[in-house]
Amino acid sequence: MRVTLKIWRQAGPSAAGSFSTYSVDDVKDEMSFLEVLDVLNERLTEAGEEPVAFDSDCREGICGTCGLMINGQAHGPQRGTATCQLHMRTFKDGDEITVEPWKVASFPIMRDLIVNRAPLDAIVEAGGFISADTGGAPDANLIPIPKPVADAAMDAAACIGCGACVAACPNGAGQLFTSAKLAHLNLLPQGQAQRWDRTERMVETMELFFGSCTNHGECQEACPKEISIDFIALMNRDYVRSKVKNRKLIGQSFP
């Protein structure tokens, strides 16, 4: 099978970018999309050209490093998979495939298809952790947690931070990522002590970098972990509650 790749090339963060077209022959059905880029890069290197820079790490859909806009969809046309899990059997012989990096103001392009996703780290650094003292490691299942709650927290924790939600959002909003990072702690008993502080800080850090939600639902379609926008609703509710609760806390503390 033979495909034509229309790839965004950009030499550096401040350089002007443009599309270059490459043709790749003998692509096999079972190759992943990243392997096709590997094959292309080998040829480019042999020919003395600059290879296409792209991010990847585990190549089994669990690290969140890879992420490309393929034919106008984040992570390509297949639902619930990252770019590394997208196999060439999804495409037909002779297809022209457009490959772009995430294009969001707060994800500056470093080179070709690589973007800087540091703002996602900023959101997690603002409160996506539990620092309250929890004592020694407790026995398993010592804290009773209803099954649906544990399941929902796990669904949220599946987020790998690839940034596809922000990339797919017509508003460049970071709501799905932030709400997933919030929910996987805020739903569980261990996360309660810092719940309102965490919610306020993470939402406000998100709003420094990203746009706002208009409930299109593109993010949950793009998410390789199929995280639901139900978590965004939870975040919207928790944020306003956090404003009320944190206001009460001010009166209770002695600075």
Q: State which residue, 34 or 169, has the beta carbon closest to other proteins.
A: 169
Q: How far is the CB of 138 from other proteins (least distance, A)?
A: 30
Q: How far is the CB of 142 from other proteins (least distance, A)?
A: 28
Mapping DSSP to helix (H, G, I), strand (E, B) and coil, where does residue 74 land? Answer: strand
Q: How far is the CB of 74 from other proteins (least distance, A)?
A: 9
- Token duo for residue 118: 């540091």
Q: In sequence order, what E strands does 10-143 have?
A: 18-24, 69-70, 73-74, 96-100, 109-111, 114-115
Beta strands at 3-9 and 96-100: parallel, antiparallel or unpaired: parallel
Q: What does each C-alpha distance from 81 to 49, 67, 141 come to in angstroms?
A: 31, 10, 31
Q: In sequence order, what E strands does the chain have?
A: 3-9, 18-24, 69-70, 73-74, 96-100, 109-111, 114-115
Q: State which residue, 11 or 143, has the beta carbon closest to other proteins.
A: 11
Q: How far is the CB of 149 from other proteins (least distance, A)?
A: 13
Q: How far apart are CA 3 and CA 7, in angstroms?
A: 12
| Contacting positions for other proteins (CB under 8 A) | 13, 19, 69, 71-73, 77, 98, 100, 103-108, 110, 116, 118-119, 121-122, 125-126, 169-173, 201, 203-205, 207-218, 220-222, 229-230, 232-240, 243-244, 247
Q: State which residue, 38 or 207, has the beta carbon closest to other proteins.
A: 207
Q: How far is the CB of 166 from other proteins (least distance, A)?
A: 8
What is the distance, to the nearest Å, from the Cα of residue 11 to the centroid of all Cα atoms in its chain?
A: 24
Q: State which residue, 6 or 43, has the beta carbon closest to other proteins.
A: 6
Q: How far is the CB of 77 from other proteins (least distance, A)?
A: 8
Residue with tokens 């008993």: 189
Q: State which residue, 39 or 158, has the beta carbon closest to other proteins.
A: 158
Q: State which residue, 144 or 251, has the beta carbon closest to other proteins.
A: 251
